[in-house]
């Protein structure tokens, strides 16, 4: 993190216990100065002062998580993170409100339109005037400090995210793979992230944690089989 960049303050605003299909979590909402978005820390177990807490820093994906889009793997990754934390009995999922890798929902839809014209996920962002990844992670440090987490085991396939968290002062002791099984509609997206963004996996040999969605039994129009997200 550049020490000359002013980092907005992030503070806890509200909290509650939330029952889910995976178990009951503690949910805390955080507000960031100068930003209308609110981030969530979804935790289970005693994490205060704990070392090597299982953590997922997950960026919002309305199209995948709400509309069940099959263009990406975001919803399955979020579900997997909540399930892994519940199975471990301790951990934190940070839900970060930075849609479309930081470009926002409307621009994400514009990027999708560019993908329909043949651009991959990286070049689509560039074609509409953005970098391939504009996400920031200063809020992760603030949220984890508020929860009292001493160090984390990060659920991610993205080594850049590990570096970004460490640059923002988060003690990441190690990374654990967080891969769900691809299907025809998102395989190109996953391959682009591996080839052009350095994500660490091999789709041909990986041991997948989650099977493809059952909706893939539907016969989709080949015209929608383009790179995604």
Per residue in 74-130, pLDDT (tens digit) is 899 999 999 999 999 999 999 999 988 888 888 888 888 888 888 877 788 788 888
Distance CA 132, CA 122 (A): 5
**185 token code pair:** 């509609």
Please, what is the average pLDDT of the chain?
83
pLDDT over threshold 60, residue 211? no
Higher per-residue pLDDT: 219 or 45: 45
Percent of residues, the chain, with pLDDT higher than 70: 77
In sequence order, the 6+-apart residues with CB closer than 8 A to the CB of 27 are 15, 16, 17, 18, 40, 41, 42, 43
User: The whole model's pTM is what?
Assistant: 0.83
Strand partners, 23: 20
Whether 226 contacts 114, CB under 8 Å: no
pLDDT over threshold 90, residue 181? no
Task: Outline where 69-104 has alpha helix (H).
Answer: 74-88
Q: Which domains are present in the chain? A: 10-98+135-210 (3.40.50.10990)
pLDDT over threshold 50, residue 218? no
What pLDDT sits at residue 49?
96
Average pLDDT rounded to a whole number, residues 164-184: 89
| Catalytic positions | 133, 135
């Amino acid at each position: 993190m550049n020490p000359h960049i002013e980092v907005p303050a992030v503070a806890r605003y509200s909290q509650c216990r939330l029952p889910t299909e995976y178990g009951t979590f503690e949910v805390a909402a955080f507000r960031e100065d100068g930003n209308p978005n609110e981030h969530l820390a979804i935790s289970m177990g005693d994490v205060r002062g704990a070392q090597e807490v299982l953590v997922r820093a997950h960026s919002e994906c309305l199209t995948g998580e709400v509309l069940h889009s099959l263009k990406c793997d975001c919803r399955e990754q979020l579900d997997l993170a909540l399930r892994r934390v519940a199975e471990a009995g301790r951990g934190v999922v940070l839900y970060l409100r930075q849609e479309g890798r930081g470009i926002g929902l409307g621009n994400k839809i514009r990027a999708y339109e560019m993908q329909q014209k043949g651009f991959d996920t990286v070049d689509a962002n560039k074609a509409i005037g953005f970098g391939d990844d504009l996400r920031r992670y200063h809020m992760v440090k603030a949220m984890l400090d508020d929860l009292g987490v001493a160090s984390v085991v990060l659920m991610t396939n993205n080594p850049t995210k590990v570096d970004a968290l460490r640059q923002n002062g988060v003690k990441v002791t190690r990374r654990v793979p967080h891969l769900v099984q691809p299907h025809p509609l998102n395989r190109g997206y996953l391959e682009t992230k591996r080839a052009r963004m350095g994500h660490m996996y091999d789709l041909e040999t990986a041991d997948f944690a989650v099977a493809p969605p059952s909706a893939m039994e539907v016969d989709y129009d080949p015209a929608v089989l383009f790179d995604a997200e």
